[in-house]
Amino acid sequence: MTDLVGKLALIIEDDATSIAVLQQLLENVGVEAEVITDNFRISDHLQQAQRPDVIFLDLEMPQANGYTVLEYIQQNSKFDGLPIVAYTTHISHLNDAKKAGFHSFLGKPLDGKLFREQLTRILNDIPVWEVP
Confidence of residue 13 (pLDDT cuts 50, 70, 90): very high
> Does a structural domain hold residue 40?
yes
Q: Report if residue 1 sits inside a domain.
A: no
Q: Which has the closest alpha carbon to 70: 112, 42, 34?
A: 42
CATH number reported for the structural domain that contains residue 35 in this entry: 3.40.50.2300
pLDDT confidence band for 3 (50 / 70 / 90)? confident
Q: Which range of residues forms the domain containing residue 57?
A: 8-130
d(CA 46, CA 10): 9
Query: Alpha-carbon distance 81 to 6, whole Å?
Result: 19
For residue 97, being part of any structural domain is answered with yes
Residue 2's pLDDT is what?
65
pLDDT in tens, 86-115: 999 888 889 999 999 999 999 999 999 999
pLDDT on residue 25: 97
pTM for the full predicted model: 0.94
